[in-house]
A and B are shown apart, each in its own frame.
Chain A
């Protein structure tokens, strides 16, 4: 556990991506099995200890520390695991620290009834860094800037193996990945993944800048505002993966239950529904899809109200044939054949769109009022399907954001890298001009878009202009205008205004603008799709 907590501490304070990869590669190279496999799983979110949840940790700490002091500390630190590790009283004569494997075994053996006692006993054996590492590992979500991709790169570097091979195997093996280490570190046979429903790295687009492309070389599609998914069927099993490689099969039974065609397809997961303007059977806004995300089980009502479907972009594997080296145009022809054999209510094809020139496309892009359209995709007709983001092959061309001048109303402290700063802002618009008795009602909440310097300024504004406190929320004097950028706006019950923005972010702080001149609700309603 000592080596792992030292690694974690170093990773947290290391800025450069290459230095992080070096640190992790060195650890993977030098640490014995199975500890290094468990570490890899812990860093990439591959561990799950059902009995050890934030609530259980809170309860355990509150038996030892005043709950009010714990809550205030948690609010300040911005992280339950770190707060608990700092506040833990510790044992007077601790037993020796457990190894990482021992700790993983102990966490796995805990039940809801035993966690209070067993986890406490484990914490008593560790120092502050060890406690932090243990609690982070136990609850998942390390938030230390190690993506699965970076971990795989480190693995490839540690043993001099190919990153593509590592990525394909990753998703079929389970922690502590004995077969992966046997192959990479001990030259043993490569685990056979061909016949298994594995994840393939997604091909990603780069933002289009300027108009220097030869349009004739490119096919153009809508950029749909859902989530990118990969659907895989092999060896009698179907899996649905998100862009990051998370297995979301069980969240969408209506998609995966109906898919028995041996292939790997790439598409956009969308929701069809009358709730959000999809009455004609089209795709609903991202808002509707959000109802379905992050669920492990799906109530029948959800399936009825927010039925999901996949709008297909590409085919990576068809039967035994790896299509990825073929040009996009050939894959597209194949995809058009494949889609014929799939249930039409669950799968359709992303249409190609035509225009004379960039101006024509720009016009189409900006006049597309469909809530589920984010912009356009430009794909080189001869591009193979390659994982990751490659310049020159695929481009995304997003619609310009909408903006509104809103008034800051409430602020809350953030977590992670914004911990202890007031960085989550709720803002509002006028119901009517202020001189006619209008009031400000909330229209959205944003926690990004500002620079570090602006964040410090906003934080100090909040502190100096607090007029009320509700738990961790501060109400501020309604004087500061924020220019908010957002992709679209929809009817919603989330805010008192009846509106919700898609991807709102703070575009500018308008210290020059009086609050009385902020946007009116009627102007916002005119933007609703």
Chain B
């Protein structure tokens, strides 16, 4: 199952040799198409960058502007040379996230990047794109990973807050995407108190607001007393949960918003008292459902629990292979 000659999966990313273009490469390259702004897909230092306007802004915030940026409009094909065109479609993962349709000589390949099929008030929903080869992620590619409705998880968060008015709930949430979705979903559910932020989250929240995502009133925890923070919801990057920083909080209930929280020991390993199973990735049902819906002739699995998804495909007579790409592993998501 070699696949067409015009695309080559290399350890550092997907490569189009005919036009010398990489997709989500793990090192700085001359020309790169980037699906979304998470650090494992978006590296700094590319010569030419093709990305959605939002992704380009996120990368500029993180790495400074690359030499040349091509802000890509959704659903509009771009000619890359060697007869290859690329078209970006929404992936529903985080603000600006895209799948990339690659076409050459009538062959259609879709690179999903990271995606999900659930509603997310902070980004455009995933659009199914017909293709011959689907190159899919598999972060949660095991049948044990079924993400519950986000409303159930937020109800547990609000319940913990209400039951402990003199404590605070400290939620570890990935700085790009998870934190903003959590806030937006709280707002959608009618939570109108200020949400407090660790300093590392403010710039990304401001960027979201600048793109029109309403996050309501946000406050930095800096300079707040324990009394100010009692009974409040505070968001921080997962790494700050066990940091000295968290000792300034009033007896925090340690929560973490991540798809990994579905496995009890993963929560215990991180000393999480209130695991919230909230993920921006497709769960097992979404991964398999998407493959069934698109019915591609071939499935390539880029990263995650690829063994299980490849096995599932094969039991359904679908041609599937695992690509051993390095560097895509998102422990906090």
Contact residues of A with B, CB < 8 Å?
A: 12-15, 65-66, 68-69, 72-73, 76-79, 82-83, 86-87, 132, 416-421, 452, 463-464
Instruction: Return A78 CB to nearest CB of chain B, in Å.
Output: 6
Given contacts A13-B274, A66-B315, A419-B266, 7 further A-B contacts (CB under 8 A): A13-B268, A76-B263, A77-B144, A82-B264, A82-B265, A86-B144, A416-B265
Contact residues of B with A, CB < 8 Å?
A: 142-144, 146, 262-269, 271-275, 305, 307-308, 311-312, 315, 326, 329
**Residue among B262, B265, B267, B326 making CB contact with A86, cutoff 8 Å:** B262
Instruction: Return B139 CB to nearest CB of chain A, in Å.
Output: 12
Query: Do the beta carbons of B326 and A76 come within 8 Å of each other?
Result: no
Instruction: Return A517 CB to nearest CB of chain B, in Å.
Output: 28
Which residues of chain B are near A73, meaning CB under 8 Å?
A: 142-144, 308
Query: Do the beta carbons of A13 and B275 come within 8 Å of each other?
Result: yes
Residue on A nearest B314 in the bound complex, by CB: A68
A-B contacts, 17 of them at CB < 8 A, read: A13-B274, A66-B312, A68-B308, A68-B311, A69-B142, A69-B312, A72-B307, A72-B311, A73-B142, A73-B144, A82-B264, A82-B265, A87-B143, A419-B265, A419-B266, A420-B266, A463-B329
Question: Contacts A15-B271, A73-B308 given: A65-B266 contact, CB under 8 Å?
Answer: no
Q: Which 10 pairs, one residue from A and one from B, show the smallest C-beta to C-beta distance?
A: A419-B265, A86-B144, A72-B308, A73-B144, A13-B273, A73-B142, A68-B311, A69-B143, A77-B263, A69-B308
Instruction: Return B164 CB to nearest CB of chain A, in Å.
Output: 13
Instruction: Return A458 CB to nearest CB of chain B, in Å.
Output: 14
Residue on A nearest B146 in the bound complex, by CB: A86
Which residues of chain B are near A87, meaning CB under 8 Å?
A: 143-144
Most chain A C-beta atoms within 10 Å of own C-beta, residue among B264, B305, B307, B311: B264
How far is B144's CA from A76's CA once the two chains are assembled, in angstroms? 9
Instruction: Return A468 CB to nearest CB of chain B, in Å.
Output: 13
Which residues of chain A are near B265, meaning CB under 8 Å?
A: 77-79, 82, 416-420
Question: Contacts A86-B262, A87-B143 given: A69-B272 contact, CB under 8 Å?
Answer: no
How far is B269's CA from A463's CA once the two chains are assembled, in angstroms? 19
**Residue among A66, A69, A417 making CB contact with B269, cutoff 8 Å:** A417
Query: Do the beta carbons of B144 and A12 come within 8 Å of each other?
Result: no
Residue on A nearest B141 in the bound complex, by CB: A72
Which residues of chain A are near B262, meaning CB under 8 Å?
A: 86
How far is B142's CA from A73's CA once the two chains are assembled, in angstroms? 6
Query: Do the beta carbons of B263 and A82 come within 8 Å of each other?
Result: yes
Instruction: Return A380 CB to nearest CB of chain B, in Å.
Output: 38
Most chain A C-beta atoms within 10 Å of own C-beta, residue among B265, B305, B326, B329: B265
Instruction: Return B283 CB to nearest CB of chain A, in Å.
Output: 12
How far is B233's CA from A483's CA once the two chains are assembled, in angstroms? 44
How far is B274's CA from A82's CA once the two chains are assembled, in angstroms? 18
How far is B312's CA from A68's CA once the two chains are assembled, in angstroms? 9
How far is B143's CA from A463's CA once the two chains are assembled, in angstroms? 22
Instruction: Return B322 CB to nearest CB of chain A, in Å.
Output: 11
How far is B264's CA from A69's CA once the two chains are assembled, in angstroms? 19
Instruction: Return A77 CB to nearest CB of chain B, in Å.
Output: 5
Which residues of chain A are near B267, meaning CB under 8 Å?
A: 13
Most chain A C-beta atoms within 10 Å of own C-beta, residue among B263, B266, B272, B305: B263
Query: Do the beta carbons of A14 and B305 come within 8 Å of each other?
Result: no
Which residues of chain A are near B142, meaning CB under 8 Å?
A: 69, 72-73, 76
Which residues of chain A are near B307, meaning CB under 8 Å?
A: 72
How far is B269's CA from A421's CA once the two chains are assembled, in angstroms? 10
Most chain A C-beta atoms within 10 Å of own C-beta, residue among B146, B267, B268, B315: B268
Instruction: Return A429 CB to nearest CB of chain B, in Å.
Output: 30
